[in-house]
Amino acid sequence: MSNEYYRKVREVLVLILIINIAIGLVKIIYGYKAGVLSITADGYDSLLDAVSNIVGIVILLVSAKPSDKEHRYGHYKLETFASILISFTLFIVAYEIISSAFERFFAITTPSISITTYLVMIITLIITLIAAYYEKSMAKKLHSNILLSDSEHIKSDALATFIIIISLVFVQLGYTILDPILSIGISLLIIKTGLTILYSNINILLDKNILSTYEIEDVVKDINEIKEVHNVRTRGTASTIFLDMHLVLSKDLSLADAHRLSHICEEKICEEYPEIKDVLIHIEPEEGMDDKIEYE
């Protein structure tokens, strides 16, 4: 991945970092002031998001290093590790919120909720939704796994904030038990988000296929001299894909012609999928197809 890619991803993360710190501090202050555990928990969740952003920025600085003798494929998987770290921070936050909620069950207090409390939560909700939309759109534009993971986290924050706003009405009506119950509900949403992020990034570490065989075959099927394509394998992330494949060519072609066709094939694939950074092509003569292995 280029330095421009890492620069743009870092810029997005820095902006989200500032937003998370501001939102987190506001929620914590008003959560303690109003005595609403769910708001305070939501605020700490936002601050932990900020910590995740900082870790992501640091790891991206390392990931931007070019490939070297010991890391021939670059350092792009550090971004995957950062995403996994985000998932574990979510689990920690969920645990802390659940612990506080169970303590509140045995010491229920009456929160002090005002119009200001509602305004604070509504404003932070709007800002959170805008941040989530912006980060997800940039994740798709840049094909950034870490931005996509973080945007999913922010979406879960927005949902939690919305539920809290609704619950404040019932808490004011005397249903104070809803506060710790809601806090546990928020924790479960956070755990679900963490598991989703963890699963998708573990698949990257396990080199799960990124593109299907049929997608690649469709790109090169119009090249007349190519008899067959098989053993197509892809791995990597959404923004950095490595492809290897076998091409079956006529045995009468010269080595120079076979080499030319492999370059034509590579150029056509990379034109269709610019996120593919490296293509390794193995050439086979037409009669040498008996021992091929198919990957669906």
What is the full per-residue pLDDT of the chain (296 aa) written as tens digits?
566 777 888 899 999 999 999 999 999 888 888 777 778 878 887 887 887 788 778 767 766 676 777 777 766 777 778 778 878 878 887 887 788 778 777 766 667 778 888 898 999 999 999 999 999 999 888 878 778 878 887 887 888 888 888 888 887 887 778 778 877 887 887 788 788 888 888 888 888 888 877 888 888 877 878 888 888 888 887 767 889 989 888 888 888 988 888 888 888 888 888 778 888 889 888 875 555 555 55
284 - beta bridge partners?
248
Query: What is the pTM assigned to this prediction?
Result: 0.65
263, amino acid identity: H
Domain with CATH 1.20.1510.10 in the chain: 3-205
- Those residues whose C-beta lies under 8 Å from the C-beta of residue 65, and which sit 6 or more positions away, are 74, 75
What are the CA-CA distances from residue 231 to residues 38, 76, 241, 253, 283 (Å)? 52, 24, 16, 21, 11
CATH 3.30.70.1350 domain locations along the chain: 213-285
Tally of residues, the chain: 296
Q: What is the CA radius of gyration of the chain?
A: 25
Q: Could you say which of 1.10.10.10, 1.20.1250.20, 1.20.1510.10, 3.30.1330.10 is the CATH number of the domain covering 3-205? A: 1.20.1510.10
CATH class as words, domain 213-285: alpha beta
Asked whether the beta carbons of 279 and 235 are under 8 A apart, the reply is no
